[in-house]
């Protein structure tokens, strides 16, 4: 049985305690084991600050960009084995393209931006020289330099490759080393991609480190030059943000968390128009791609009240034609959620939404996934809710079921539509 390893201070480290199984989202079979750490986080942080940090900062933006490009090319040529591992996360081939190819593509983009938009220097001048005294003897200039600490990336389970690479690219381009902590549920895929990064030899020693398991006292080892970048639930973000050491040392904390994204159908879009068809296709795609496990997935469908039934019928018709099951089956269009725990969470959150909205499509009892056992695999039926009184409702605007779940609600006029959209409290995205 494969035991996932951490990469600390330039060496692969095996965990010997607290091992727990990681199961396939499709079959329920054990894919790997992950431990509780057994890591010296103080040494890891020091290694990043004292070894790799100076090496990265010595490189110009153009040289860092060149390393990102070389790494992207290396991964691109060796990505096929990652697809096989990705199936076990419940992802179809199309889903895996978003994760794997999307992540590699992000490296290419940042490499290009570093070469085209940044100077061949280690400093970034911000604006012109400012005269601060009447005589001109006192001048000021803003200059951006690399932080001299380490970036800690605590990543989500839904995109184990892309989520890792999209954070590493700007971090390394900025001249900062990183410690990556993937979500355990899909950590075997993240570890496989990380091994390729190390094997590539494209980055300075210690530029990236990897934690398979918990973060232990890592957050207690950080200081004012360090950064924490978290992706996950709002509750976990709040817990981490409250860490006493992070507060006392003003450690930068970035969180991408729950998002009740909305899409708005315009008042002049009738069911027979091309725009209506495009709207329905987009809603369906966002509900089913990655089984709805996308931070930018549509959760609230805001439409003219007199077209609510037409939208429900059209979306339901497309969902009914969506093949759900083993992602290796080329005819399957929606795979499983990332884990059985995630399935239980989605069903619980959907039940909360259902206390205020009517379920108009979806029935877990009648779900029979193609080529898979719905009890062993983390399969869930797409669920579409309809909300009769979106102004009085709370759950649809505050509870995110992180899966193939969305709620249709009607608006009276555009002003009302925008008020409903804003009930999401600063969602990641919205579309019109």
> Domain ranges in the chain?
5-121+145-256, 262-431
Structure pTM? 0.94
CATH superfamily of 262-431: Aldehyde Dehydrogenase; Chain A, domain 2 (3.40.309.10)
The pLDDT profile of the chain, 432 residues, written as one tens digit per residue, is 799 999 999 999 988 778 999 999 999 999 999 986 679 999 999 999 999 999 999 999 999 999 999 999 999 999 999 999 999 999 999 999 999 999 999 999 999 999 999 999 999 999 999 999 999 899 999 999 999 999 999 999 999 999 999 999 999 999 999 999 999 999 999 999 999 999 999 999 999 999 999 999 999 999 999 999 999 988 999 999 999 999 999 999 999 987 899 999 999 999 999 999 999 999 999 999 999 999 999 999 999 999 999 999 999 999 999 999 999 999 999 999 999 999 999 999 999 999 999 999 999 999 999 999 999 999 999 999 999 999 999 999 999 999 999 999 999 999 999 999 999 887 889 999
Tell me the catalytic residues.
Answer: 256, 295
pLDDT at residue 258 in the model:
79
- Residues 6 or more apart from 410 whose CB is under 8 A from it? 302, 303, 304, 305, 306, 307, 308, 387, 390
**CA distances, 275 to each of 279, 288, 410 (Å):** 6, 20, 18
Q: Which two three-digit tokens encode residue 266?
A: 């315009």
First to last CA, the chain: 49
Determine the Cα–Cα distance for residues 212 and 189; give it in Å rounded to an integer: 11
pLDDT at residue 37 in the model:
64
Q: Tell me if the domain spanning 5-121+145-256 has CATH number 3.40.50.720.
A: no
């Amino acid at each position: 049985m494969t035991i996932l390893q951490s990469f600390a201070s330039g060496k692969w480290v095996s965990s010997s305690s607290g091992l727990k199984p990681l199961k396939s989202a499709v079959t329920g079979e054990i894919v790997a084991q992950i431990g509780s750490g057994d890591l010296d986080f103080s040494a890891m942080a020091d290694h990043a600050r004292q070894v790799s940090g100076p090496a990265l900062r010595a490189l110009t933006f153009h040289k860092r960009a060149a390393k990102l490009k070389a790494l992207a090319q290396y991964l691109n040529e060796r990505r096929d084995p990652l697809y096989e591992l990705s199936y076990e996360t419940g992802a179809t081939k199309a889903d895996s393209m978003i994760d794997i190819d999307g992540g590699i593509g992000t490296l290419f983009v940042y490499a290009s931006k570093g070469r085209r938009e940044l100077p061949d220097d280690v400093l970034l001048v911000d604006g012109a020289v400012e005269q601060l005294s009447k005589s001109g003897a006192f001048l000021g200039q803003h200059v951006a330099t690399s932080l001299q600490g380490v970036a800690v990336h605590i990543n989500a389970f839904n995109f184990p490759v892309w989520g890792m690479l999209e954070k590493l690219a700007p971090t390394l381009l900025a001249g900062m080393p990183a410690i990556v902590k993937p979500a355990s549920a899909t950590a075997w895929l993240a570890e496989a991609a990380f091994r390729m990064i190390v094997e590539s030899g494209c980055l300075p020693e210690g530029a990236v480190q990897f934690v398979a398991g918990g973060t232990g006292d890592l957050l207690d080892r950080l200081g004012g030059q360090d950064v924490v970048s978290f992706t996950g639930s709002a509750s976990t973000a709040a817990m981490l943000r409250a860490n006493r050491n992070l507060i006392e040392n003003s450690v930068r904390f970035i969180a991408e968390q729950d998002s009740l994204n909305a899409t708005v159908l315009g008042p002049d879009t009738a069911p027979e128009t091309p725009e209506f068809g495009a709207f329905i296709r987009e809603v369906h795609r966002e509900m089913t791609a990655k089984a709805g496990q996308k931070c930018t997935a549509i959760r609230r469908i805001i439409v003219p009240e007199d077209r609510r039934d037409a939208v429900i019928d059209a979306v339901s018709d497309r969902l009914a034609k969506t093949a759900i099951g083993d992602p290796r089956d080329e005819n399957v269009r929606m795979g499983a959620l990332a884990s059985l725990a995630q399935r239980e969470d989605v069903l619980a959150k959907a039940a909360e939404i259902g206390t205020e909205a009517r379920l108009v499509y979806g029935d877990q009892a009648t779900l029979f996934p193609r080529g898979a056992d719905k009890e062993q695999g983390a399969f869930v039926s797409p669920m579409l809710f309809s909300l009769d009184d979106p102004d009085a409702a709370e759950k649809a605007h505050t509870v995110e079921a992180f899966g193939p779940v969305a709620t249709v609600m009607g608006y009276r006029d555009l002003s009302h539509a925008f008020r409903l959209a804003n009930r999401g409290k600063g969602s990641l995205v919205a579309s019109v």
